């Protein structure tokens, strides 16, 4: 079991590696080549560069999050096989560099969705939030301007300018893609990359959809236990795994996340742990990692990981902006450091008490 922190790389992240290194329990970072668009090849040189940057601060890269999958692969266009061939080259480069875990998602158009990146909480901190009533009123033509205004000048992964510029075309391309078509395209992708994953012992860890239900009429296929179990059983191979994300699965109170961890036992090489607070049936916000600050029982989740023999990578996921910090939304230093210490404390207690 290794604790990591998400780091976006030189020129993209407001948090310095030397400060990440000072967080007790942190053994490395998970990162990506932010300049690469979905469908492009990750090169040996690009990976070597970001590995060297991490190594200078005494940190290793524990996983890539994410080598993004193009919409052509998700939709199944005539460019799908070309983009899968490029993806295989990227996995080859990652494998040669010793990277064994790849977090990815199969969400149409958006990697994640929030309606507010700077909601002020009662304690004076700022956090990411979602209100379904707002989403229901959104005109997709206004998304580019809205996200640029909310981002505070930061490049938001999954909401890159190139993607926002063609948002209308992307929606049109998905108009005939059902949940079943999307699922079968995922299965096709996983089968095509099996050989390279086996060669380098790479575990592909799919990230749940965020939030865990369809939005803007787009299909979502990794939102609950049934869908996760179906994927793991349909491609019942060592390279097909789950990134357990309490923040994404926890957006839907109906998800029994302890049950999901047990159902995916042995297939979780990577875990994102964050808390969310449900204010109403249509509104949630990301809270402090502490269980009682939100609606997620963090102790129960970490205990479930411990009980199922989890030996993978885990990280404190999104944090609030506290103590006046200005950073990439959700990815400041201070609150994630508090979360890391809290989770390490729970894990140490479980180990010593032997629960």
> Distances from the Cα of 208 to the Cαs of 8, 64, 106, 154, in angstroms?
20, 16, 8, 24
Indicate the angle between helix axes 44-55 and 80-96, nearest 10 degrees: 40
Based on the residue annotation, tell me whether 272 is a catalytic residue of this protein: yes
- DSSP structure class, residue 293: G
Task: Give exposure, 235-247, as e/b (b: 16+ Cβ within 10 Å).
Answer: beeebbbbbbbbb
- For the question of residue 317 being annotated catalytic, the response is yes
Q: Assess contact for 113 and 215: CB atoms under 8 A.
A: yes
Q: Which stretches of 197-307 are assigned E, i.e. beta strand?
A: 203-206, 240-245, 270-273, 276-280, 283-286
| CA-to-CA dists, residue 106 to 32, 141, 207, 268, 342, angstroms | 17, 23, 8, 17, 31
Specify whether 262 is catalytic: no
CB contact at 8 A, 241 and 206: yes
Catalytic residue among 83, 239, 289, 318: 318
- Known catalytic residue at 245: yes
Q: Show the beta-strand stretches assigned E in 146-235.
A: 203-206
207 is catalytic: yes
Among the listed residues 83, 154, 239, 272, the single catalytic one is 272
- Candidate list 245, 334, 335, 342, residue with the active-site label: 245
- Residue among 130, 331, 334, 342 flagged as catalytic: 331
| Cα–Cα distance, 307 to 292 (Å, whole number) | 22
Please give the DSSP secondary-structure letter assigned to residue 275: -
Q: Which residues pair with 129 in a beta bridge?
A: 116, 285
Of 154, 317, 335, 342, catalytic = 317
- The first and second tokens of residue 273, run together, are 């742990």
Q: What are the respective helix, strand and coil percentages of the chain, to the nearest 5?
A: 40, 15, 45
Residues serving a catalytic function are 207, 245, 272, 317-318, 331
């Amino acid at each position: 079991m290794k604790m990591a922190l998400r780091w976006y790389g030189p020129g993209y992240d407001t948090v310095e590696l030397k400060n990440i290194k000072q967080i007790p329990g942190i053994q490395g970072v998970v990162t990506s080549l932010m300049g690469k668009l979905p469908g492009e090849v990750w090169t040996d040189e690009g990976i070597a560069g970001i590995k060297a940057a991490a190594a200078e601060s005494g940190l290793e890269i524990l996983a890539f999050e994410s080598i993004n999958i193009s919409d052509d692969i998700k939709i199944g266009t005539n460019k799908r096989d070309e983009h899968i061939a490029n993806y295989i080259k990227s996995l080859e480069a990652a494998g040669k560099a010793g990277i064994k875990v790849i977090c990815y998602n199969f969400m149409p158009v958006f990697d994640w969705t929030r309606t507010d990146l700077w909601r002020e909480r009662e304690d004076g901190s700022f956090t990411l939030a979602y209100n379904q009533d707002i989403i229901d009123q959104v005109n997709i033509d206004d998304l580019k301007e809205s996200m640029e205004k909310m981002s505070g000048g930061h490049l938001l992964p999954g909401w890159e300018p190139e993607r926002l510029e063609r948002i209308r075309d992307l929606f049109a391309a998905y108009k005939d893609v059902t949940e079943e078509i999307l699922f079968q395209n995922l299965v096709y992708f996983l089968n095509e990359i099996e050989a390279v994953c086996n060669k380098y012992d790479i575990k592909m860890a799919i990230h749940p959809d965020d939030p865990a239900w369809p939005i803007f009429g787009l299909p979502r296929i990794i939102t609950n236990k049934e869908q996760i179990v179906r994927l793991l059983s349909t491609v019942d191979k060592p390279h097909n795994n789950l990134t357990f994300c309490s923040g994404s699965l926890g957006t839907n109170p109906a998800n029994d996340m302890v049950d999901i961890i047990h159902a995916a036992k042995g297939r979780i090489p990577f875990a994102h742990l964050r808390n969310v607070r449900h204010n109403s049936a249509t509104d949630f916000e990301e809270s402090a990692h502490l269980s009682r600050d939100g609606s997620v029982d963090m102790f129960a989740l970490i205990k479930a990981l411990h009980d199922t023999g989890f030996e993978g990578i885990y990280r404190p996921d999104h944090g609030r902006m506290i103590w006046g910090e200005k950073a990439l939304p959700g990815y400041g230093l201070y609150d994630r450091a508090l979360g890391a210490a809290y989770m390490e404390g729970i894990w140490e207690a479980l180990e010593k008490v032997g629960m």
